[in-house]
Each structure stands twice: as C-alpha cells, then as structure tokens.
Structure 1
C-alpha cells in the first residue's frame, strides 16, 4: 500500500483548485510579446506588427492624469477594436475568463468583472510613472 502513496499524492495535488495567474503573470504571458516587459511598446513582436503597440506606461498621462480603467479593460477584453478585423490587438476575452468580482472601473458603479481582467488592469496601473 505504501508504494501507492506518491501516486495518490500526485492525484490529490492535481485535484486542488488552482489560483488564477496574477495580473503580472497574465501580462507577461499575453501582453509583453508586443508591449514589452515594461509596457513601453517595445516587445519582441513589436517590429512585426503593422502598427507599433501602445506605450502602456503613458495611459494615465494621455488621459489627463487619470488611468482610463474601463476603456483599457474594454480594449483588452475585445469590446473595442478595429472594424472588420483591422485591429492589431487581438481579443483576449476568451483567454481571461474567470470568476467574476464586483469592480468599479472608475465610473462609480461596481460591475461583475472577470478577476483576471481586473488583475491586468491593476497591474497596468503600476506601470504608470
């Protein structure tokens, strides 16, 4: 019976609920290839795109000093983009589906929002000077 203990532990470990990735981890996995590790638009794939990726470190500065949370989250999720497939940035909504949490994106209304989307938006706020 003892020789089955390691197998049983592996099976139990696989059954444990996994924590969702952090915003920094999702950014590294999905965003940094184009936007760069620091969000400046200088990722390894940036030179292959039809348009240079946005410098995400200037989002608040370009919005009168306020981070445009709702607009950024809509862009990431895929609610806003190019018309008829001309957007350079892909729709990340399907990749970020997760449990919903109440979140106020700056409009005073707490809206059920996927946790992973909230975490990326909060991470992007840390990139602002």
Structure 2
C-alpha cells in the first residue's frame, strides 16, 4: 500500500465515521426531543409522562424481539410518521410527520419540507434500530 493510498483510506474512514456519528447523533437528538418524555431515555417505556398515559407505553428496545429478531424498519417509519393511517398506540402518539412538516414548510416549502420530514423520521427510526436488545 502506498503512502497516498493509505492517506486516502484513512481520510475515507474518517468521513464515514463522521457521517455515521452525525446520523446517530441526529437520531438520538430526535429521540430525546420527540420520544423520551413517554418512552424514557433508554426506550424502556418509563419516561416521566408514561404514568399519565391511558395506554401502556411500549418498550422500544424490544421491537426486534417482538418481530422474530428482525427490525421492521418500514413499519416503524410508518408508525412514527403517522400520516398514512398507521397509528401507534391508538391515538395517543403524536403524528410526527405532520408536526415535522408544519415546522419545516415555512422555510423549505412543501417539497423541501417533505425531505426534511423523511430525514428526521429516518434518523429516529435508525436510532430505534440501534437500541434494540
């Protein structure tokens, strides 16, 4: 391996690690802002608002276990988004897709807002996948 190849490889690894960290930190940030109050910081359904819910707040670390060891990414994204009729926990869980779109539309316009919504939801779903037990 030449010195130039080694430098390029290290640089590529650094960029990949930075992108992965940014992605994971974005998902964690979304989780803390949108989910932790009910689901708890670790995702076990023990957040400070859980005791006030009329339905049991699920343990989000058990999603894969409940699905034969597979994380159902598309289904999780649909539940978080909530705009397509898949509602999590009856009607207690907010429709995050709609909330995110309302926040993003003034700045990004209708089409740009949808890209922002999908990015935020994907980051959140990837965080949930990462915390599976």
Both structures adopt the same fold (TM-score exceeding 0.5): yes
The TM-score range, normalised by the shorter chain, is: 0.5 to 0.7
**1:96–1:114: 8 Å Cα contact kept in structure 2?**
no
- Pick closer, same or farther for the CA change 1:33–1:60 going to 2, 3 Å: same
Q: Whose helix proportion is higher, 1 or 2? A: 2
**1:34–1:44: 8 Å Cα contact kept in structure 2?**
yes
- Pick closer, same or farther for the CA change 1:33–1:25 going to 2, 3 Å: same
Unaligned segments of structure 2, at least 5 residues: 1-21, 102-112
**1:81–1:89: 8 Å Cα contact kept in structure 2?**
yes
- Partner residue of 2:87? 81
The number of residues matched between the two structures is: 97
Q: CA deviation at 1:99?
A: 5.8
1:27 is aligned, of 26, 31, 35, to 31
* 1:60 matched to 2:64: yes
- Partner residue of 2:15? none
String of CA shifts for 1:76-117, please: whole Å, max 9, x gaps: 1013127xxx5121111123345639xxxxxxxxxxx71111
Structure-1-length-normalised TM-score: 0.67
Structure-2-length-normalised TM-score: 0.65
**1:35–1:55: 8 Å Cα contact kept in structure 2?**
yes
Unaligned segments of structure 1, at least 5 residues: 1-18, 102-112
1:42 is aligned, of 34, 41, 46, to 46
The runs of at least 4 consecutive aligned structure 1 residues that moved more than 4 Å come to none
Q: Whose strand proportion is higher, 1 or 2? A: 1
1:100 is aligned, of 115, 118, 122, to 115
